[in-house]
Structure formats: C-alpha cells, structure tokens
A = this chain, B = another copy of it.
Amino acid sequence: MTADKPIEERTEFTPQFNEQGLIPVITQDAHTGQVLMFAWMNREALDETIKTRLGTYYSRSRKKLWKKGEQSGHIQKVKQILTDCDQDCIILEVEVDAGQCHVGYYSCFYRALKPGSQTELEFIAEKTYDPDATYGK
C-alpha cells in the first residue's frame, strides 16, 4: 500500500474527478501515438471502459454515457490506461479502425495553425471515411 504517500508516488488509482464529477481523457493511437480525440469521463464511464476495454465517455451535451462507435461502428479497443502525476487526467491508448472523428478524419486534430499566422488554420490530413454514409446526412 502506498496510500500514505503523495498522490504522485502512489500505486493506488485514485482518479480526481472535478466539481462536475468529470475527468479529462486524451485518446491516443496505441501504435503511432497520434492523439485521436479529447473527451470527458464520469466515474461510470471510466468503470465501463475498464470493465469492457472499449472507450466509453460521458457526453456533456447529451448528459449520458457514450460508448464510442455505438452509432458509427468506429469502436476503440483499449490497450492501456495511463494517468498523470496529479491523477486528474487519463490517457486511453486504443486500437481503432478507419476513422474516429465525426467529420470523417482519423483524428479530430486535422488542422494546424499555419506557420507564421496567429489566426489561420491549414488542413493537415485527408478524410479516411465518409461521415454521411456512416451517420446519414
């Protein structure tokens, strides 16, 4: 037991949910390290993710659990779960298929700030699936 140690040194997993009962989650491709998305979990979503090994989040807009891929089929197979020094953020390392982002890209992070610009983005990826075919128009 290391519960008497500072949270940074503990081996007890004691995730720190915020005042809304949520913890931020970074989802990363287990093989390439590419960040795929950023979302939130509540305690139930985290427990479900650990139990099923499928990425499950809490939708703040719909105010309910959201199993990634339940509509699109683009599920996330969880290979490893990391936490940070303060245990107030989680990384899911996952295996995915063609797409993750609802816009049709592999990653939600498909735009970068143009070099030298403070206001203009450029697209740095190509779509990997057709979201209209997946979600309907």
- Could you list which residues of chain A lie within 8 angstroms of chain B, going by C-beta atoms? 8-13, 24, 26, 28, 32-35, 37-38, 47, 50-51, 80-86, 89, 91, 101-103, 105, 108-113, 117-124
Contact = CB atoms under 8 A, between A and B. Distances in A.
A38 B86 CA distance: 11
Contacts of A120: 11-13
Count of this chain's copies in the oligomeric assembly: 2
Interface centre among A9, A50, A82, A112 (most CB of B within 10 A): A82
A84 B38 contact: yes
Contacts of A86: 108
Given A12-B120, A121-B13, A102 B85 contact: yes
Contact of A103 (B8, B105, B109, B110): B8
A89 to B, nearest CB: 4
9 contacts: A24-B24, A28-B33, A82-B113, A82-B124, A83-B113, A84-B101, A84-B108, A85-B105, A85-B108
B118 A13 contact: yes
B35 A32 contact: no
